[in-house]
Structure 1
Amino acid sequence: MAVREMAPKANGEACGVCGGRTYVIERRGDQAQARICACSEHCSVCGGRGHVLVEREGEFSQKMGPRRYEVMETCTCTKLRTRIARFDALGLPASAAHANFENYRSYEEAQDRGRSVAMQFAYQYVQGGSSKGYIISGPVGTGKTHLLAATLAHLALELGVRGRYVEISLLYATIRRGFQEGKSGGEIIGPLSEVEVLAIDELGKGRGSPFEMETLDELIARRYNAGRTTLFATNYSLEPERRAMRSAAPSGYRTTDDSRSAAREAELLRERVGERIYSRLCELCTFVEFPKETPDRRRPRQEMNAPMHHAAGNGRPQGR
């Protein structure tokens, strides 16, 4: 997320809470939410009115020449509240509340490229224009959701763009619950079809049922036909074709676990979503794929914080 010029406090120092951004992002329940920082709650520009008089100069006729006049404009504090409301409407998970481009950690060159693609998209985005999205593929825990969240947060807070984040399996669950309440799938998909930028996480996840495939196809088709930008993250390979299966051990023996592992490695997004959707992804998105060896960023933290095992019977920690 772009860092704005530090907002000075009364003593000339930058606010130690928001770092000069004038807003604070927090976890509230299972979602990320933002609020105006205490240092900016009272606007010194408009005095809380939400608008300001600005003097302009224009020439309405050659005979009269340049004339100065005043117009009413929206104050920056009102724009800030609007952008915070749009951040809150994103639906970002609480786990990604503080995701930005600066704190993204990469272990592979492909991850650096993923960060660059996401940053370039966010920083060069033009509202109302036609921007090509991106899709990031990689193993779990490699920062794909982090980059989606960082992109949407920048667009909402710095540009005021209307966006949404959805995790695909949760969307399917929401639509199923809607059926029980008498709602149609279109009523739920409709708002997602209309937001300026939509991020779909976990693309390809699910059972691949006719209901799931029809829902996904309708959502992407609506956005595709309207020329709206969509971002994606997936755990499935973006390769267009399966690679040849790696040869088994010299003995030719392959365990059941070996076969299951090989099948998982060979799963392609193209096969999970079908030819029609995959073809549209090729047109709509820049492809970025992390190697399957990319380490899970969550595991080192868990392993470092793992509780120490105790020897049975004596309650003492085992040797280190």
Structure 2
Amino acid sequence: MAVREMAPKANGEACGVCGGRTYVIERRGDQAQARICACSEHCSVCGGRGHVLVEREGEFSQKVGPRRYEVMEQCTCTKLRKRISRFDALGIPASAAHATFDNYRASKEEQDRGRNVAMQFAYQYVQGNSSKGFILSGPVGTGKTHLLAATLAHLALELGVRGRYVEISLLYATIRRGFQEGKSGGEIIGPLSEVEVLAIDEMGKGRGSPFEMETLDELIARRYNAGRTTLFATNYSLEPEKRAVRSAAPSGYRTTEDARGAVREMELLRERVGERIYSRLCELCTFIEFPKDTPDLRRTRQEMEAPMRHPSGHGRPLGR
């Protein structure tokens, strides 16, 4: 996040709750939400009015010359409330509530590149301009959702950009429920087509049914035609050369999940979404692919924490 002026406490120090950001991000249910920190609930600038008088200088005619005048502008507290509202509307999952570029942990060079591409996109984003997005490909647990969430959070809280996060299979499920309520797919896709920046997670996931392909194609086509920016993350490979190195499945015992994972590793995103959508992705996005052996951060964290737990399973640290 961009550096803000530290919100002072009564003793002049920065607030220990929000760290000077003036807002706090929390997990509420299954989504990330934000609120104004207690240190900034009462604005000392506008006294709670939400607007301030600002003195300007302008030249309206050469004869009169420069003149000073006052205009009414939104106070910073009003802008903060709007940005918090934009963040709350993102739909970022609760599991990524505190995702930032600073706390992203990379173990591979490609992950560092992914973070740098996402940061550059976020920090150099110009509101209202059409910008090239990015697509992150890699195994599960490698921080793709983390980077999508960090990007959207920065855009909403620092720039006030209207964005949305969607997990593609949940979008399909939402549209199916909408059919039962008499809604059309277009009614649900419409708002997603219009937000300035949309992040689509788990691209390629699903059964690949005609309904799913038509839904995805319509959503991307609408955004493509309107020149709007879209970000993506997928577990499927972006590398076209993988088709040439496919081999027979290894013999021996494998669990169902192992088998599914092996198939997914060999399957290409272009096969999951079709040539039309894939062609548009090539134009819309910078491609970043994490290697197959990139560690699963969630599994690594679990394995590191396991030795610290008591053998009985009650979570007491060993040696205590």
TM-score (norm 1): 0.92
**Aligned twin of 1:153:** 153
Code of the residue aligned with 1:45 in structure 2: it is V
- State the secondary structure of the residue aligned to 2:115: helix
**Aligned twin of 2:10:** 10
In structure 2, do the counterparts of structure 1 residues 260 and 125 end up closer, same or farther at CA, with 3 Å as the change threshold?
A: closer
**Aligned twin of 1:313:** none
- Tell me the distance in 2 between the aligned counterparts of 1:259 and 1:40: 53
Cα deviation 1:88-123 (Å, max 9, x = unaligned): 000000000000000000000000000000000000
- Tell me the distance in 2 between the aligned counterparts of 1:77 and 1:286: 36
Cα deviation 1:245-271 (Å, max 9, x = unaligned): 46679xxx8347498665332100000
- Tell me the distance in 2 between the aligned counterparts of 1:247 and 1:179: 42
Q: CA deviation at 1:66?
A: 1.6
Q: How many residues align?
A: 307
- State the secondary structure of the residue aligned to 2:242: coil
Q: How does 1:237-252 map to 2 (within 5 A)?
A: 237-245=237-245
Code of the residue aligned with 2:197 in structure 1: it is V
**Aligned twin of 1:232:** 232
**Aligned twin of 2:116:** 116
**Aligned twin of 1:86:** 86
Instruction: Give the alignment's Cα RMSD to 1 decimal.
Output: 1.8
- Is the Cα contact below 8 Å between 1:137 and 1:144 reproduced in 2? yes
- Is the Cα contact below 8 Å between 2:24 and 2:34 reproduced in 1? yes
Code of the residue aligned with 1:107 in structure 2: it is S
Cα deviation 1:123-155 (Å, max 9, x = unaligned): 000001010000000000000000000000000
In structure 2, do the counterparts of structure 1 residues 52 and 268 end up closer, same or farther at CA, with 3 Å as the change threshold?
A: same
- Tell me the distance in 1 between the aligned counterparts of 2:296 and 2:259: 23
**Aligned twin of 2:251:** 254
Q: Which moved more, 1:267-276 or 1:238-247?
A: 238-247
Q: How does 1:103-252 map to 2 (within 5 A)?
A: 103-245=103-245
- Tell me the distance in 1 between the aligned counterparts of 2:298 and 2:105: 11
In structure 2, do the counterparts of structure 1 residues 120 and 64 end up closer, same or farther at CA, with 3 Å as the change threshold?
A: same
- Tell me the distance in 2 between the aligned counterparts of 1:260 and 1:65: 74
Unaligned runs of 5+ in 2: 313-320
- Is the Cα contact below 8 Å between 2:235 and 2:264 reproduced in 1? no
In structure 2, do the counterparts of structure 1 residues 193 and 248 end up closer, same or farther at CA, with 3 Å as the change threshold?
A: closer
- State the secondary structure of the residue aligned to 1:233: strand
- Tell me the distance in 1 between the aligned counterparts of 2:264 and 2:66: 71
- State the secondary structure of the residue aligned to 1:56: strand
Q: CA deviation at 1:212?
A: 0.4
**Aligned twin of 2:318:** none
Identity %: 88
- Is the Cα contact below 8 Å between 1:26 and 1:33 reproduced in 2? yes
Q: CA deviation at 1:308?
A: 5.5
- State the secondary structure of the residue aligned to 2:244: coil
**Aligned twin of 1:315:** none
- Is the Cα contact below 8 Å between 2:246 and 2:266 reproduced in 1? no
- Is the Cα contact below 8 Å between 1:175 and 1:185 reproduced in 2? yes
- State the secondary structure of the residue aligned to 2:54: strand
- Tell me the distance in 2 between the aligned counterparts of 1:260 and 1:161: 38
- Tell me the distance in 2 between the aligned counterparts of 1:256 and 1:211: 35
- Tell me the distance in 1 between the aligned counterparts of 2:7 and 2:311: 49
- Tell me the distance in 2 between the aligned counterparts of 1:246 and 1:183: 43
Code of the residue aligned with 1:49 in structure 2: it is R
- Tell me the distance in 2 between the aligned counterparts of 1:86 and 1:240: 38
Cα deviation 1:188-241 (Å, max 9, x = unaligned): 000000000000000000000000000000000000000000000000000124
- Is the Cα contact below 8 Å between 1:245 and 1:262 reproduced in 2? no
- State the secondary structure of the residue aligned to 1:5: coil
Q: How does 1:89-100 map to 2 (within 5 A)?
A: 89-100=89-100
